[in-house]
Chain A
């Protein structure tokens, strides 16, 4: 158990629908990162939050949005779903590790989204 909790583990839905993925970071970590991993695209950075504020943005589609709440959990909202959105969605929490003096990520187990 990495300490990063993601729900749901699996989700099957239809095109055009909207889903919400949830992530609780490791205790004490203020940063949350979202990644999408599909077979042909590898691990793609979507967005990062730090203590409730958006810090970095990747190639996140306009149909996708995210937020981080005061209790530091984060949600990734995916709307108007298309077949191509089927993927594993990972959340990671980041912390500067004193041994390295740099941000290292701890990933959750992922949420597998299937759009039919």
Chain B
């Protein structure tokens, strides 16, 4: 079956360092992959989308890579700040419009 896996263990990182999150998927070849941020008790917020023919995408301090051979996306937060503390979710459209989310990785940036 199709699976989207993210590291369920929380990532604790010092302010100013780079946080790197992983999203792995199996049994699917998505045309694109999305990343969302979710704060406790709130709805996810869209951050970035990367297409299968794009190796890398950037937005301010965020960078996403997409390796369709490895079936993996990496999400980087550079120069991390305490305000970046949240859960980050990757999502794939598995079969048309069925946008399916990974379990998310919680990031805690310590000052």
Question: Could you tell me which A residues sit within 8 Å of B by CB distance?
Answer: 2, 4, 31, 33, 35, 42-43, 45, 48, 50, 55-56, 58, 88, 90, 92, 94, 97, 100, 102-110, 112
Which of chain B's residues 5-19 have a Cβ closer than 8 Å to chain A? none
Contact A102 B32 (CB under 8 A): yes
Q: How far is the CB of B1 from chain A (nearest CB, A)?
A: 12
- The residue among A2, A55, A88, A105 with the most chain B CB atoms within 10 A of its own CB is A105
- Taking the complex as formed, is B82 at the interface, i.e. its CB lies under 8 A from any CB of chain A? no
Contact B41 A110 (CB under 8 A): yes
Among listed B21-29, B68-76, B90-98, interface-contacting one: B90-98
Contact B100 A45 (CB under 8 A): yes
Q: With A43-B44, A107-B44 as given contacts, are A56 and B96 in contact (CB-CB < 8 Å)?
A: yes
Closest 3 CB pairs of A and B: A107-B43, A43-B101, A42-B103
Q: With A48-B97, A55-B97, A103-B93 as given contacts, are A42 and B102 in contact (CB-CB < 8 Å)?
A: yes
**Cβ-Cβ contact count across A and B, 8 Å cutoff:** 65
Contact A31 B98 (CB under 8 A): no
Q: With A42-B102, A45-B100 as given contacts, are A2 and B43 in contact (CB-CB < 8 Å)?
A: yes
Can you list 23 A-B contacts (CB < 8 A)?
A2-B45, A4-B43, A33-B99, A35-B101, A42-B102, A43-B101, A43-B104, A45-B100, A45-B101, A48-B97, A48-B98, A55-B96, A55-B97, A56-B96, A56-B97, A94-B99, A100-B51, A104-B34, A105-B99, A107-B44, A107-B45, A109-B43, A110-B43
| Chain A residue contacts of B96, Cβ below 8 A | 55-56
Q: How far is the CB of B3 from chain A (nearest CB, A)?
A: 12
Question: Could you tell me which B residues sit within 8 Å of A by CB distance?
Answer: 31-32, 34, 36, 41-46, 49, 51, 89, 93, 95-104
Closest Cβ neighbor of A47 among chain B residues: B98
| Chain A residue contacts of B41, Cβ below 8 A | 88, 110, 112
List 16 additional contacts besides A90-B44, A105-B46; criterion CB under 8 Å: A42-B104, A43-B104, A48-B97, A55-B96, A56-B96, A58-B98, A94-B97, A97-B49, A100-B51, A102-B32, A102-B51, A105-B99, A107-B43, A107-B45, A108-B43, A110-B42
